[in-house]
Amino acid sequence: MAQKSAHKWVETDVPDQSGRTFVVTGANSGLGAEAAKALGRAGATVVLACRTVEKAKPIADEIGERAEVRRLDLADLSSVREFAENTPTVDVLINNAGVMALPLKRTADGFEMQFGTNHLGHFALTGLLLDRITDRVVTMSSFMHQVPGLKLSDLNYEKRRYSRWGAYGQSKLSNLLFAYELDRRLRAAGSPVLSLAAHPGYSSTELMGRTESVQDAFMSLGRVFAQSAYMGSLPELYAATAPGLQSGGYFGPDGFQELSGHPKKVGSNKASRDEAKARELWTRSVELTGVTYPI
């Protein structure tokens, strides 16, 4: 007698989220928009935290009256602080927004744009909101965290030659180091808040075709082979809503090489598990952002 295949987690597995509030960064398009809409369908109140408010309004209109659009520019710490100051209690923070493989640019505070947006902006936001988060923090990384690039002595590419993919890899490894270190600190403090991480596999989003180089043509072609943004959003949706998850977990697609598929718990490389580097990155992040954590 043939065995039943294992259940593949899908959106209908999301428990009722009525009465719960989620903040989703970068919810105006791609993964964030899909996650926000799914949360709205599950009954949640969703704050769409986006740099360009106008782009998020159609997503909010689709969700309905439980959606709120608020401006948040992760590349500007003054915007991060203003957003946090005006945010009440939140059940779940999803650190979803990101930029990918840009030419060398700087944030409003002088940080390399990818590291400043993908890691430092979310590090500051999480720290400023942490005493008002009741359930969990979900931080988006990528299988590109395996690309060499992290250099703690030159996080903002002030000395070394700039590499757009190296900088992206550094930011995504930093996301994982941060998520794991936050988990350790929350556990040490006896906090019930969970720190989880996720990655979308190879998904078709607006990040493709934004490198401002000849690579855009190849990345646009890659959309043909990529899974949909909806499928790519499922790992973060799973991490944000599934009951019984253990803090410190990392979730991605269950398909070949984690490029596509349904959510499952996945592993990450040795560098992401380096606790000494995680502590040093945390210290440097506090120095750069001026944000200290209440744990």
- Measured between its terminal Cα atoms, the distance across the chain in Å is 54
φ/ψ region of 207 (left if φ > 0, alpha if ψ in -120 to 50, else beta) reads: alpha
- Residue 168 bears catalytic tag: yes
Stretch among 1-5, 14-18, 126-130 having the lowest mean pLDDT: 1-5
pTM score, whole prediction: 0.92
In the set 157, 162, 168, 230, the catalytic residue is 168
130: its two tokens: 């942490």
- Name the one residue in this structure whose structure tokens are 């060499």: 148
Domain boundaries, the chain: 17-289
62: its two tokens: 């689709």
Q: What phi and psi values does residue 9 have, to the nearest 5 degrees?
A: -65, 130
**Span 105-154, pLDDT tens digits:** 999 999 999 999 999 999 999 999 999 999 999 999 999 999 988 999 99
**Span 168-185, pLDDT tens digits:** 999 999 999 999 999 999
How many other CB atoms are found less than 10 A from the CB of residue 144? Answer: 18
Provide the β-strand partners of residue 188: none
17-289 has which fold?
Rossmann fold (3.40.50)
Tell the burial category of 252 from Cβ atoms under 10 Å away from its Cβ (0-12, 13-18, 19+): buried
Q: Is pLDDT at 220 greater than 70 in this prediction? A: no
Average pLDDT of 53-65?
97
81: its two tokens: 């602080």
For 280, residues 6+ apart whose C-beta sits below 8 A from its C-beta are 152
Cα separation, 130 vs 151, in Å, equals: 27
